[in-house]
Chain A
């Protein structure tokens, strides 16, 4: 039931967002080609902007995936933490320590700079 409410909230907000755009735009004419040119201060592009963009933070994203898996583990861990006591602390500590070594290694290798 609550998920249904959530879905309705999402759909209503989505509909409102699309509706405001569509209602206000449906009477407007299509812009001319010169209006559609990308803004470059009066300059011209040579090609379309879509390209094989060099994403320089790619190594950082690999480190992120490792931490994401830890996050997935932590969600149920948080709920049973107080019951489990020190055992839970030890387990999480180990996990965090191993991943922290990963961060330090990444930092030394310049993963967080734009390569």
Chain B
């Protein structure tokens, strides 16, 4: 009886959801972060529901199975716009973004009350290497070094350390595609000595990002500049929200997300910028690391290039923009700090351009190329640039490496535009729960 009272209390808790992102899955996360009653957690061990958002390519299915089995019982899996794995064919699938929060909450309640069983384990219950009964004491070891004690070898790779030359153990791990702090889909083989990255080999490129339809249309016919600039500002605000959440500024991340949801030509980003400066985001968290060379900056394009001082912006080739008095904004430095300053400056610039363009009802005149928020789309779509991480990250400490990756927009652009999510229903979500 006490157990059921506890379960009833547990059913009313905020639903802890671990998001495993597939293609184009992060748009629903922006919505879920603002939904009351749902908590997006950092580790699958802190979750009761695994949300697979967006289609997962077949070569990542093994990693998904590994991730699925890492959640502690009782847990369930919910598939959003993605087809469930063959072993989990009976799982709940939801495709409507407005029905998702309610489905998550219902699933959690059913799990807690016992009406639904915990999801079955997919991988066999075997250690990664057989070790029981082997070796001198049955612990799998073979004397001083070697063997697989308790299933894995001990770390022994010894490379000279990058910073001070002291040779100690290095750990090599494969960071998977579902790590929430990396861009969705990025998988890499990392060698760390201590907490310093010694080498980084990108094995899985991040999923291509879907831009809003207006950027695809701009290559076919003139589009209203206001719409183009608002879409650009939205993209940058969502990237900023991700980085703010990584740095521990949850409330400012929500401010950025709310701003991006209700963005119109009257919005201003100055207040957010002042709050960021006052709380020390630029001085405390984004150190002068992750500096891009000119060649790397040009390869990444977009904000990273302009933050490194390269004054390249396709909008200056467009006559309509020149009529609005457009000049590219640049920073010097090319490090993480400069990139965030550049992002905020560009958001502000875009909003001002949108305001003036709306007043004068201007349309873009150049249709052979468009400056997307990810970079210039001239003859080819901006492509994935995640191999610059191999040169950029070694020598950075873990926190610095992750904030550097968060400040760079490395994924390629997908050939399909983003599906628009209806924006008015979010306010109903918040009002219904309050």
> Chain A residues in contact with chain B, CB under 8 A?
31-35, 37, 39-56, 114-115
In whole Å, how far is A25's beta carbon from the nearest beta carbon of chain B? Answer: 11
Best-surrounded residue of B70, B127, B172 (most CB of chain A within 10 A):
B70
Residues on B with beta carbons closer than 8 Å to the beta carbon of A56: 163-164, 194-196
A43 & B63 in contact (Cβ 8 Å cutoff): yes
B72 & A35 in contact (Cβ 8 Å cutoff): yes
A34 & B152 in contact (Cβ 8 Å cutoff): no
- Name B81-131 residues within 8 Å CB distance of A: 121-128
Given contacts A41-B67, A114-B196, contact A50 B154 (CB under 8 A): yes
- Cα–Cα, bound, A43→B170 (Å): 17
A40 & B194 in contact (Cβ 8 Å cutoff): no
Best-surrounded residue of A53, A54, A56 (most CB of chain B within 10 A):
A54
- Which of A37, A45, A52, A115 contacts B70 (CB under 8 A)? A37
Residues on A with beta carbons closer than 8 Å to the beta carbon of B128: 33, 37, 44
A-B contacts, 28 of them at CB < 8 A, read A32-B125, A33-B126, A34-B121, A37-B128, A40-B174, A41-B178, A41-B180, A41-B182, A42-B60, A42-B64, A42-B176, A42-B178, A43-B174, A43-B175, A44-B176, A45-B172, A45-B173, A46-B153, A46-B155, A46-B174, A48-B149, A51-B154, A51-B155, A53-B194, A54-B161, A54-B169, A56-B196, A115-B164
In whole Å, how far is B400's beta carbon from the nearest beta carbon of chain A? Answer: 9
A41 & B176 in contact (Cβ 8 Å cutoff): yes
Would you call the interface of chain A mostly helix, strand, loop, or mixed? loop
B175 & A47 in contact (Cβ 8 Å cutoff): no
Asked whether B38 is an interface residue with its Cβ less than 8 Å from the other chain, the reply is no
Asked whether B322 is an interface residue with its Cβ less than 8 Å from the other chain, the reply is no
In whole Å, how far is B126's beta carbon from the nearest beta carbon of chain A? Answer: 6
Asked whether B168 is an interface residue with its Cβ less than 8 Å from the other chain, the reply is yes
Asked whether B193 is an interface residue with its Cβ less than 8 Å from the other chain, the reply is yes
Interface size class of B (residues with CB under 8 A): 35 or more
B66 & A48 in contact (Cβ 8 Å cutoff): no
Residues on A with beta carbons closer than 8 Å to the beta carbon of B177: 41-43
B166 & A54 in contact (Cβ 8 Å cutoff): yes
- Which of B125, B149, B171, B173 contacts A44 (CB under 8 A)? B173
Known: A37-B128, A42-B60. 13 other contacts (CB 8 A): A34-B125, A39-B44, A42-B20, A42-B178, A43-B174, A48-B150, A50-B155, A51-B154, A51-B171, A52-B169, A53-B169, A56-B196, A114-B163
Given contacts A47-B155, A54-B194, contact A35 B69 (CB under 8 A): yes
Residues on A with beta carbons closer than 8 Å to the beta carbon of B71: 35
B72 & A31 in contact (Cβ 8 Å cutoff): yes
Given contacts A35-B69, A48-B154, A51-B155, contact A41 B169 (CB under 8 A): no
A39 & B169 in contact (Cβ 8 Å cutoff): no
Q: Name the CB-closest residue of A to B163.
A: A115
In whole Å, how far is A100's beta carbon from the nearest beta carbon of chain B? Answer: 25
- Cα–Cα, bound, A89→B155 (Å): 52
- Name B142-200 residues within 8 Å CB distance of A: 149-156, 161, 163-164, 166, 168-180, 182, 187, 193-196
A42 & B63 in contact (Cβ 8 Å cutoff): yes
- Cα–Cα, bound, A39→B127 (Å): 15
- Cα–Cα, bound, A102→B60 (Å): 53
A47 & B172 in contact (Cβ 8 Å cutoff): yes
In whole Å, how far is A44's beta carbon from the nearest beta carbon of chain B? Answer: 5
Best-surrounded residue of A34, A46, A51, A55 (most CB of chain B within 10 A):
A34
- Cα–Cα, bound, A25→B5 (Å): 18
Residues on A with beta carbons closer than 8 Å to the beta carbon of B70: 34-35, 37, 39
- Cα–Cα, bound, A56→B176 (Å): 27
Q: Name the CB-closest residue of A to B6.
A: A24
B171 & A40 in contact (Cβ 8 Å cutoff): no
Given contacts A47-B155, A47-B156, A51-B155, contact A41 B150 (CB under 8 A): no
B69 & A32 in contact (Cβ 8 Å cutoff): yes
Asked whether B397 is an interface residue with its Cβ less than 8 Å from the other chain, the reply is yes
- Cα–Cα, bound, A33→B195 (Å): 26
Asked whether B332 is an interface residue with its Cβ less than 8 Å from the other chain, the reply is no
- Cα–Cα, bound, A3→B218 (Å): 77
A43 & B194 in contact (Cβ 8 Å cutoff): no
- Cα–Cα, bound, A105→B291 (Å): 29
A48 & B153 in contact (Cβ 8 Å cutoff): yes
Residues on B with beta carbons closer than 8 Å to the beta carbon of A39: 43-45, 70
Give the top 3 A-B pairs by smallest Cβ distance, nearest first.
A41-B179, A42-B176, A42-B63
Residues on B with beta carbons closer than 8 Å to the beta carbon of A53: 168-169, 194
Residues on B with beta carbons closer than 8 Å to the beta carbon of A47: 152-156, 171-172
- Cα–Cα, bound, A44→B316 (Å): 47
Given contacts A35-B69, A115-B164, contact A40 B125 (CB under 8 A): no
Residues on B with beta carbons closer than 8 Å to the beta carbon of A49: 155, 171
- Cα–Cα, bound, A39→B63 (Å): 11
